[in-house]
Amino acid sequence: MILYILSVLFTMVALIFMLLGIVGLFRFKDFYSRILISSKVETVGFITIMTGVMLYSGFTWFSLKVLLILIIALLTNPLSTHAIARSAFISGYKIKREEKNG
């Protein structure tokens, strides 16, 4: 019963965090800020949802497989985000500043 409550709690935290991250995507206007927030939302949201799934299923072979998927995602997500941001920087993508009158 406690594991079920914890799994629901982790899933709800993940969904709330992802919802707030989507709001953050709309608030930021430039590419580099958006890619930073999307990377954080994806990584932390994925961690908490997969933790909830592991707690819900109990400690079985399935949860071990989910843990391996989680480790692979934790290794590849920051690397891919860095590669995208670095390629944008190397290609000369600049942040367009808006001029304020007044």
Domain ranges of the chain: 2-90
DSSP class of residue 42? H
Confidence of residue 102 (pLDDT cuts 50, 70, 90): low
Average pLDDT value for the chain: 89
List Cβ neighbours of 7 (8 Å cut-off, separation of 6 or more). 52, 53, 55, 56
Mean pLDDT score, 18-27:
89
Q: CA 50 → CA 13, 71, 90, distances in Å?
A: 12, 11, 34
pLDDT for 5 equals: 93
Confidence of residue 25 (pLDDT cuts 50, 70, 90): confident
Q: What pTM did the predictor assign? A: 0.78
Mean pLDDT score, 47-76:
92
Mean pLDDT score, 49-68:
92
